[in-house]
Structure 1
Amino acid sequence: MNILIIGAGGREHAIASTLAKNEKVNNIFLSKHNGGSQGKIINAEINHDDFEVVENFIKENNVELTIVGPEAPLDNGIVDYLEKGNHKVFGPKKSSAILEGSKKFAKDFMKKYGINTAKYSHYDTYEQALASINDFGYPTVIKANGLCQGKGVYICEDEKQAKNALEEIFLDNIFKDQGGSVVIEQYLKGFEASLLCFVSGNKIYPFDTAMDYKKIYEGDLGPNTGGVGAISPNPLWKEVHQAQSNQILAKIEEGLKNENMSFSGILFIGYLIQNDEVFVLEFNTRFGDPETEVLLPRLKSDLLENIEQSINYEEVKLDFEDNVAMATILVSKGYPKSYQKGYEITGLDDLEDIIVYHNGTKKLNQKILSDGGRVLSIVSLSDSLDSSRKSVYDAIEKIHFENMSYRKDIGKLEN
């Protein structure tokens, strides 16, 4: 079987590396360039935003399954387009991808089906939002409505910061058409948990839990990123949270059924737990990044089988190892804002018992170069978080590239 994966970041490299272990798989094509591609994994380097180009590649290379990694092609309707040509695709159609593509739609869906979430309001204009900026007190949360690569959420400590956020979104137009409206919501204080689930029609089959680190600096300071570290299972998750999560999943299933939003793919649920009460922060309709990099190494069941079960609207039989995975992401200094790239990465050949997923790298003249904000995911599997943490940071000591930066507190839990 030949497989095409849309995307070529750490998430896609993790998916490809997991699928490559399956004997049924011949070639796995990544739509963009990934410096870690080897063996069965091949860089196709096509324009995946041009769906006709994608379909032609599928036909020319006998691709039997396409898996969509990033959110933008889903929101733009790549699944609808390819399914019209009778191609097998794993991912939601545009009508279901709106759960991620519009924060307003997601919040309205939660409200309609009694899913616990923060109080919120939605505004289409700068003037409307500015007039209601103090409605939930401070801190308050302001979110650009559309897809902003994990960078469209502002936690504002006071009115000045809130005004700055609105100015960036509406007046500076930094998110282009994805920032045409905003959701302002009540700030919740607690810890976050990530739950990825297979969706098979309108039935939901959850993975094990994960925790990701969104802030760029230690101590959870600085701007939000796409994620700079992750752990699975989430060490703060308890049975009381699991019971509430199960109730939430049942309500989402009801919503998917009633709204005719059945699909095959992944639903990522971003939870926040405040005083042991579980709230839903957001939905994503694809594999989370960097959560995928700590969940797939722990997957005991066969990923290809699980994907095919979902596509066929069958029961998805997931199974995980009883171990702990941790990932620290090496980034280019300056990320998530401006940064320089193109620096040679050394030390990767010296690593033992470590998984390396390439987030933003390229191979040139047999050298691996930094080629993005997030560069490498350094992952360790062990029987304890402490052991995984030590292995990850010991490995990082051996890796070097110019302007390399990373958080040193991933996996370090507060007492």
Structure 2
Amino acid sequence: MRVLVIGRGGREHAIVWALSRSPRIGKLYCAPGNAGIAQLAECVAIAENQFEELAAFAKREEIDLVFVGPDDPLSEGIVDYLEERGIRAYGPRRNAAEIEGSKVFSKQLLKTYNIPTAAYEAFDDYEQALAYVRSQPLPIVIKADGLAAGKGVIVAQTLEEAEEGLRGIMVDGRFGRSGSRVVIEEFLTGQEMSLLSFVDGTVVRPMVPSQDHKQVYDGDKGPNTGGMGTYSPVPHIPASVVEEAIETIVKPTAEAMVKEGRPFRGVLYAGLMLTEQGPKTIEFNARFGDPETQVLLPRLETDLLEIVLATLDGTLGDLDIRWSDEAAVCVILASGGYPESYPKGLPITGLAEVKDALVFHAGTARKDGEIVTDGGRVLGVVGRGRDIAEARQAAYAEADKIRFEGKHCRTDIASKALQA
């Protein structure tokens, strides 16, 4: 089969890596890709939002399947666009991708179908939102309605932080049109968990759970990022809690989307908080998470391409999906200054020295024959082992071999699993 993956980050590198292992792959492309992806697939200089050019390429190269990685093109309707032109594509259609594209929509869906989540109110008027913030207990969570590259969430500990964050989103336009509406919700406490599932309508096939680290600094300090690291499994979270989340949140959400005339097909990501009252929904994403994908796909023993094809063929419920018992820990190496401004084009050395870990490129490019930084999150180093401790040791040992100016990483990825 001839397959085109759309995207340029660490998630897409992991997807390309997994697909490249399938015996059914004849030719693998990625648009636009990055320096690491180029080692496994032919990279094509077409951006994720260039629908017409992507469709033309798929037709010209007789692509059998397009796998859409990022959130933006899904929310903009790339799957609808490709399907209308007779091109098979994996991912939710536009009306289903709205579960990620609009936090107001997703919160209303949860409320309508009594699916556990934090109490909230939505606003498109700044003064009304400000008055509401001032009337609520602290801490409080403020979310831009639309997509914001994983950075549109503010957890305000003080009223001053809340007011400043709200003003930045709704008045200063920090996230553009994504901040024209906001969701303001109660602050939930507990362990976070990422639970991704392969979904086709009401058919839900959960993946193994993982745990992400959103804040940029150790101890969950500093601003939110797209993710500074992740690990799987989560041995300190009981299997019964994971099962409860599947039965009370993931499956009811898939069924609700069908009832709303928005059947979801693809990867549904549930970001959960495990509270004293049980699992509650923080957010949904309409695609593989980044960097969760980097620890989930190395644990997937079933051919990813077979899962995708079964989803498109309506046979997902019949497929035997198997997972490895090994652990995986991903440590993100970020540019100095991330998630705010950061330099690009800095030489990366030491990649050839890495022998005992997978390295997924997130923000890299090739310049004058060498690999350089080209994003805020630059690389994801994934260690694997019999347990979290062994995988974590491998990830950090190999990450230390990689060097670029300003390199930053958290030193406490997966430590929660070891302390439990």
TM over 0.5: yes
Offset at residue 38 of structure 1 (A): 4.1
TM-score, normalising length: structure 2: 0.96
Offset at residue 246 of structure 1 (A): 2.7
Superposed CA offset, 1:275-301 (max 9, x none)? 261101111000000000000000011
For structure 1, list consecutive stretches of 5 or more residues without a partner in the other structure: none
Partner in structure 1 of residue 398 of structure 2 = 395
Superposed CA offset, 1:288-321 (max 9, x none)? 0000000000001110000111111222432100
Answer yes or no: is 1:250 the counterpart of 2:282: no
Partner in structure 2 of residue 125 of structure 1 = 125
Question: What is the letter of the counterpart of residue 252 of structure 1?
Answer: T
Question: What is the letter of the counterpart of residue 309 of structure 1?
Answer: A
Partner in structure 2 of residue 267 of structure 1 = 268
- How far apart in 2 are the matches of 1:328 and 1:235? 18
Partner in structure 1 of residue 326 of structure 2 = 323
Candidates 350, 353, 358, aligned match of 1:355: 358
Partner in structure 1 of residue 290 of structure 2 = 289
Question: What is the letter of the counterpart of residue 359 of structure 1?
Answer: A
Partner in structure 1 of residue 217 of structure 2 = 217
Question: What is the letter of the counterpart of residue 266 of structure 1?
Answer: V
Answer yes or no: is 1:379 the counterpart of 2:397: no
Task: State the number of aligned residues.
Answer: 415
For structure 2, list consecutive stretches of 5 or more residues without a partner in the other structure: none
**Aligned residue runs from structure 1 range 304-315, under 5 A:** 304-314=305-315, 315=317
**Aligned residue runs from structure 1 range 11-410, under 5 A:** 11-247=11-247, 248-275=249-276, 277-314=278-315, 315=317, 316-410=319-413
Offset at residue 6 of structure 1 (A): 1.1
User: Residue 59 of structure 2 aligns to a residue in which SS?
Assistant: helix
| Closer/same/farther in 2, CA of residues 40 and 219 from structure 1, 3 Å limit | closer
Query: What do you get for the CA RMSD once the two structures are aligned?
Result: 1.3
Offset at residue 353 of structure 1 (A): 2.1
TM-score, normalising length: structure 1: 0.97
User: Residue 22 of structure 1 aligns to a residue in which SS?
Assistant: coil
Partner in structure 2 of residue 411 of structure 1 = 414
Whether contact under 8 Å (2:258, 2:264) holds in the other structure is no
Bigger shift: residues 198-207 or 232-241: 232-241
Superposed CA offset, 1:84-125 (max 9, x none)? 011100001111000000001101111111111000000011
Offset at residue 233 of structure 1 (A): 1.1
- How far apart in 2 are the matches of 1:178 and 1:222? 22
- How far apart in 2 are the matches of 1:39 and 1:279? 40
Whether contact under 8 Å (1:30, 1:44) holds in the other structure is yes
Question: What is the letter of the counterpart of residue 305 of structure 1?
Answer: E
Whether contact under 8 Å (1:27, 1:40) holds in the other structure is no
| Closer/same/farther in 2, CA of residues 279 and 263 from structure 1, 3 Å limit | closer
Offset at residue 40 of structure 1 (A): 4.3
- How far apart in 2 are the matches of 1:156 and 1:217? 16
Question: What is the letter of the counterpart of residue 271 of structure 2?
Answer: G
- How far apart in 1 are the matches of 2:205 and 2:112? 22
User: Residue 118 of structure 2 aligns to a residue in which SS?
Assistant: coil
User: Residue 289 of structure 1 aligns to a residue in which SS?
Assistant: coil
Offset at residue 39 of structure 1 (A): 5.0
Identity %: 40
User: Residue 133 of structure 2 aligns to a residue in which SS?
Assistant: coil
